Amino acid sequence: MLKFSFWKLSYFLVALLMVPNRAFAMHIMEGFLPIEWAIFWWAVSIPFIILGLRSIRKTIDENPETKMILGLSGAFAFVLSALKIPSVTGSCSHPTGVGLGTVLFGPLAMSVIGTIVLLFQSLLLAHGGLTTLGANVFSMAVVGPFIVYFIFKGAQKVGLSFSLAVFFAAMLGDLGTYIVTSVQLALAFPSEVGGFMASFTKFSGIFALTQVPLAISEGILTVIVMNFLKKYNVSELKALRVFTTKEAQ
C-alpha cells in the first residue's frame, strides 16, 4: 500500500512539472534580497544542512528499511509546497509539507529534504531562486521543522492524542514558516515610517489572509497520511520511534 501511494504521489509530481513556470509565491523570488542578506541566510542555513546529512546517514545505516518513507516525505513536501494559491493581495500562499518528514525523521533530516525540495522548485518551477535559496531554506526547512518537532513532542508530553499532536505540529510549523519569511523581508526592507515592525506587520498581514486556512488544511492532510502509515507501516515507524507500542494499537 505504501509503495502504491508513493507512486501516485510521484505521478502527481511529474504532472506538476508541466505547469507553466511563472509564479509569485511565499518563497522569496530570485534577486529580491540584497546580497548581504542573501549571504547571511546561506551562512545561517548551511550548518543545519550539514548536521541533517549526518542525521539521515545515521538513520539509514540503523534502519535501511525506512528509505521508502524518507522518499515519501520528500515527495509529500514537494507536492504540497508546489501548490501555489493566489491571495487577494496578488501574492500567493501554499502549504509547506515539512510536518510529515519532521515527525518521522526529525528536524535536522528535514533541513536536507527541504533544501532539495526548494532547489528543485527554483530550477524546475521558477518558484523561489538560487540567490534566495538560503533564506527560503532557513524559513521552510530549518525553522519550520524545529517548530513542528517541539510542538509535536510537547503535545505528546501533555497527553494529547497522536493525531492531535501531528495536527497542531504541522499547522503551527506551516504558520511559523510564514512568520519567519515576514521577518526576513522586514529585515531586508524596513519601512521608512515605523521601521522593522511596520514592515513585518505589512508582510505578515498579506500572508495571513490565505495562509491560516492553508495551515489548517495541511495539518488535517498530514494527520491522514500519518494515520495511513501508522496502519500499514508499524514496524518502520517503531524503528523511527515515532510512537510507542500503546499508540500503535
The CA–CA distances, whole Å, from 141 to 90, 166, 173, 232, 246 equal 25, 17, 10, 27, 31
Q: DSSP letters of 121-153?
A: HHHHS--S-STTHHHHIIIIIIIHHHHHHHHHH
pLDDT in tens, the chain (249 residues): 444 444 444 444 444 443 333 334 457 777 788 899 999 999 999 999 999 999 999 999 988 888 888 988 999 998 887 776 654 333 456 788 999 999 999 999 999 999 999 888 878 776 667 888 889 899 999 999 999 999 999 999 998 999 999 999 999 999 998 889 889 888 988 988 888 999 888 888 877 777 788 889 899 999 999 888 887 766 667 667 775 545 544
In DSSP notation, 22-81 reads: ----SSPPTT-S-HHHHHHHHHHHHHHHHHHHHHHHHHHHH-GGGHHHHHHHHHHHHHHH
User: What would you report as the CA-atom Rg of the chain, rounded to the nearest whole angstrom?
Assistant: 18
The reported pTM is 0.82
Query: Which position has the grid cell 495562509?
Result: 211
Other beta carbons within 10 angstroms of residue 201's beta carbon come to 14
Q: Do the Cβ atoms of 145 and 98 come closer than 8 Å?
A: yes
What is the tally of helices (H) and strands (E) in the chain?
Answer: 11, 2
- Longest CA pairwise span in the chain (Å): 58
Specify the fold of 32-248: Arp2/3 complex 21 kDa subunit ARPC3 (1.10.1760)
Angle at 97 between CA 229 and CA 202, to 5 degrees: 155
